[in-house]
Chains A and B, each alone.
Chain A
């Protein structure tokens, strides 16, 4: 895996930075502009989740190759309160923050792989990937 790009998330301006960096990385890796937008939107949702629930955290962006596929890997980490019921948090329309409840389920729909590991009281790590087939 290539070196990860780390973006601290502590304010709303960092959400914009994270999604722009994600778009740049996806462009660099040859993703279509449609996929770049999809990746940027997913990053925006999970970065905002960090701000909303944990106040601070970080997003790591990297590229990974797997056979004839190349992927953008987004890892969002925080040491916030954690998610008590992960399956429920992945359901549409479920939100404890008064938000739209689109954050996690929305981001999951946008990406190919999506994994949430959360310990109540210790924090949450969301890992998501978007793949593209490499030509030749």
Chain B
């Protein structure tokens, strides 16, 4: 199941529609990282609202996406983690340390707007290494 990736302004939005296999998740990671370069994206939103389970592989892949995108100059925010999914993740000992999250797409966009604003104020149009 391919995850559609939409381009909206300086952002890429990947909206997961159904359960994903490990191969689907890896494919999403490659596609997003490639598109950050192709579209010169400043932000990436991964919408996981439709995911009813997140296991260790899914969480690791989301973390990889966020870290790889940052290395390519784009900020990632994961949106839409459901309450039951959050509960099971905590029980499993899974964290998204170092990865930004937001309640839903709207909050995610607001977060990215704020982040990119901060960048421009701090360092002009160039990209800042945020480690």
> Which residues of A are in contact with B by a Cβ distance under 8 Å?
12-13, 15-16, 19-20, 23, 33-34, 36-38, 40-41, 44-45, 48, 92, 99-100, 102-103, 105-107, 109-110
Contacts and interface: CB of A to CB of B under 8 A. Distances in A.
A59 B88 CA distance: 20
Most chain A beta-carbon contacts within 10 A, residue among B55, B82, B89: B55
A34 B19 CA distance: 17
Contacts of A100: 56, 60
Interface stretch (B30-38, B69-77, B91-99, B121-129): B91-99
B39 interface: no
Nearest to A20: B19
B56 A102 contact: yes
A36 B85 CA distance: 10
Nearest to A36: B84
Given A37-B53, A37-B85, A110 B91 contact: yes
A91 to B, nearest CB: 12
Most chain A beta-carbon contacts within 10 A, residue among B23, B53, B84, B91: B53
B87 A15 contact: no
Contact of B22 (A12, A20, A41, A103): A12
B54 interface: yes
A33 B56 contact: no
Contact of A37 (B19, B22, B57, B88): B88
Contacts of B17: none
A42 to B, nearest CB: 8
A18 B83 CA distance: 22
Most chain A beta-carbon contacts within 10 A, residue among B82, B85, B93: B93
Contacts of A33: 84
Contacts of B56: 45, 48, 99-100, 102-103, 106
Interface in B20-60: 20-23, 52-57, 60
A109 B81 CA distance: 20
B53 A19 contact: yes
B22 A38 contact: no
B93 A37 contact: no
A34 B87 contact: yes
A34 B83 CA distance: 8
Contacts of B94: 102, 106
A85 B91 CA distance: 24
